[in-house]
Amino acid sequence: MQNAFQSVALIGKITNPAIREHVLALARFLGERQIAVVVEEITARQLDIQGYPVVALHAIGRHADLAVVLGGDGTMLMVARELVNHCVPLVGVNKGRLGFLTDLTTESMLEAIAKILDGEYTQEQRLLLGASIIRNGQLESEGKALNDVVISKGGVARLIDLELTIDGEFVHQQRSDGLILATPTGTTAYALSAGGPLLHPTLDAIVLVPVCPHTLSNRPFAINSLSRVEITLCGTDGAFVHFDGQLHAELRCGDKVVVQRLQKTVTLLHPSGHSHYAMLREKLHWG
C-alpha cells in the first residue's frame, strides 16, 4: 500500500531524555516503510539523535509533509505556533501529563502511525489567535497562541482594571486578576481551571473567561471567532500578556491588546476511530 505521506519530521521534548528511544524507534519504523525522515535540529542535538538529516524547526515545512511531535502538550503548542504558516499536519505522541493535544501513547505509537500512513485517519482544523500590543498608537509587539492569550496581573497581589471592547462596541470594565481568551482547543487548559466551558475543538468560537473577577455576575462567555477583541489596561502598570503560557510581554497603563483569529489553521491528525468525547472521559475521569 502506498504511504499517505512521503517525508516525516520528528520533534521531541528535549528536556525528557526518555524521549530518545521513542524517536529512534519511530525513525527506524518509518525507514522500514521507505519514508524519508528528518529530525528537528534541537531535538537531534539535545537527545543525541544521529544518522538522519537535521532540519531547523522553522524550515520543516520545506522538508516534510507530516510532523510527529513526541512530548507533551507544551511541545505541541510550540511546534504548532511555529509551523502554522507551513500547512504541515501534526500528530502528537504523549509523554507528558494529560495530553489533550498529544493523544497517542508511546505503547500504541507505531500501530497508530501505521494507520495514518495507510490513510486511515481523521483530521481537525484548529484555529489560533493572534494578538497585537498597541502602545501610544504604535505596534509594540505581537504573538500568537493555539491555546490562549491571557492578560494577567504581575507579581503584586492586587486586581487590575481591564476595559473590554468587541467589534468596536464597549462591553464592560472589569476588576480581576486577569482575562483569558481561549480557542476551543484551549478550553481544556487554563480556561477550564478558571471555570470556563469546554468547547468542541472544531467550533469557530473564542471563549472569554475572567480570572477571579471582583463581581459574581462577571461570567465566561463565547463569541464568534471572527470577532475583533480589544482589551485596554486601565489605571495600573505591571500586568502581562501571555501566549500559551510560554511567551509573554509586559503591559503598561493605557496599552491595548488586540486579539483576532489567524487566517491559517493548524491541522491535527488522529487515527480513524479517534473520539474527542472518549478522550475527555479518559483525561478528565468522567463517569
The catalytic residues are 73
Are the C-beta atoms of 30 and 37 separated by less than 8 Å? Answer: yes
Query: Residues near 233 by Cβ (< 8 Å), separated by ≥ 6?
Result: 151, 160, 161, 162, 239, 251, 252, 253, 254, 255, 256, 257
* Euclidean distance between CA atoms 40 and 57, whole angstroms: 6
Identify the residue whose cell numbers are 469546554.
Answer: 198
Query: Residues near 235 by Cβ (< 8 Å), separated by ≥ 6?
Result: 160, 161, 253
Identify the residue whose cell numbers are 538529516.
Answer: 53
* Euclidean distance between CA atoms 225 and 62, whole angstroms: 30
* Euclidean distance between CA atoms 90 and 183, whole angstroms: 18
